[in-house]
A and B are shown apart, each in its own frame.
Chain A
Amino acid sequence: MGSSGVTGLLVAAGVLAVATVIGLWWRSRNGRLRVIGPPPSADRNGEDRDGGDRDAEVLAALGVVSGTPVTLVQFSSAVCAPCRVAARVCAEIAGSRDGVTHLEVDAENQLDPVRSLGVWRTPTVLVVDSTGRIRYRSSGAVRKTELDTAVAAELAATTAAR
């Protein structure tokens, strides 16, 4: 180990430091559910109506049935271990709550919807309301408690609107 060994050691230490920061950042964001649509009390015919309508058309083409209180649209791919975890979480919530449907989409075979809906990672889970609007989304293995809370809130909003 001459001076070259020192170089390699410094590179290794730097790489591990950077990777640790990346890992901590990734872990804090991965699978977190983000609010997309307006809150249930807000006017649903807001400014983003055109974009929302376009999304609704794309989602309908994927098999989202209008009028279903909550549809969990999950994009998955074959080369994706966390997709199985997300699928299990979505299926459990769909099975335990009335009015919730789980729709799993093979991202590799649906690249046009993947592009227009801005999906970059699998699994991506979209929480779609009864009008076909995306209300929440997450990428990475979705966190069950967060998803369940959001679904419950959305179901309550749908019931209140009737």
Chain B
Amino acid sequence: MLIDPRGPRFAAGVTAIVLVLVLVFESGWLALAQAAVFALSALSPRYSPYGLVYRAALAPRLGRPSELEPAQPVRFAQLVGLVFTLVAAVGFLAGQDVLGLVFAGLALVAAFLNAVFGLCLGCEAYLAFRRLTHRPMAARVPAP
């Protein structure tokens, strides 16, 4: 499956704004909502809530993309985002604000770098992780 790379980049921008709000209000529920967005997006780019906004409101105005990218890396990155925002949500909801701030902050770094610089941290870490552990990892997800 190939997707318009501007969709995930837009989604990363929205995610970064949501994560700033999570930090400012130290809101576990907002973090949980963002985790749900990540979970849906990891399931399939088709179900990505921010992706739906992009396709409905922005894509028609921007015209055709000059290139497409594979969906698997994007889904992998959403899984990484899911884990970080889930830990942040649990931290804030359990009263462990430092845990929440740290993990929401790390997720914000990743989302911001993706949105502004087009740098995908999850993809960068993938080979290094495999090289260190030499263990198979569920990075390839079944095609829909």
Contacts and interface: CB of A to CB of B under 8 A. Distances in A.
A binds B: yes
A81 interface: yes
Nearest to A26: B119
A121 B128 contact: yes
Contacts of A42: none
Contact of A8 (B73, B101, B117, B124): B101
A49 B135 CA distance: 33
Contact of A15 (B97, B105, B122): B105
B73 A80 contact: yes
Given A7-B101, A79-B76, A111 B130 contact: yes
Interface string B19-41: 11011111000000000000000
A121 B74 CA distance: 17
B127 A122 contact: yes
Nearest to A119: B127
Nearest to A22: B113
Interface in A73-112: 77-82, 84, 107-108, 111
A44 interface: no
B127 A121 contact: yes
A114 to B, nearest CB: 6
B117 A1 contact: no
Nearest to A88: B67
23 contacts: A7-B26, A9-B23, A9-B24, A12-B108, A20-B116, A22-B109, A23-B117, A26-B117, A26-B119, A30-B119, A78-B139, A78-B140, A79-B72, A79-B76, A80-B73, A81-B69, A81-B73, A81-B74, A81-B120, A82-B123, A84-B70, A120-B127, A121-B124
Nearest to B117: A23
8 smallest beta-carbon distances between A and B, as pairs: A23-B117, A8-B23, A12-B23, A81-B69, A8-B24, A19-B112, A79-B73, A15-B105
A11 B127 CA distance: 30
Given A79-B73, A81-B5, A11 B128 contact: no
A15 B127 contact: no
B120 A5 contact: no
A79 B126 contact: yes
B61 interface: no
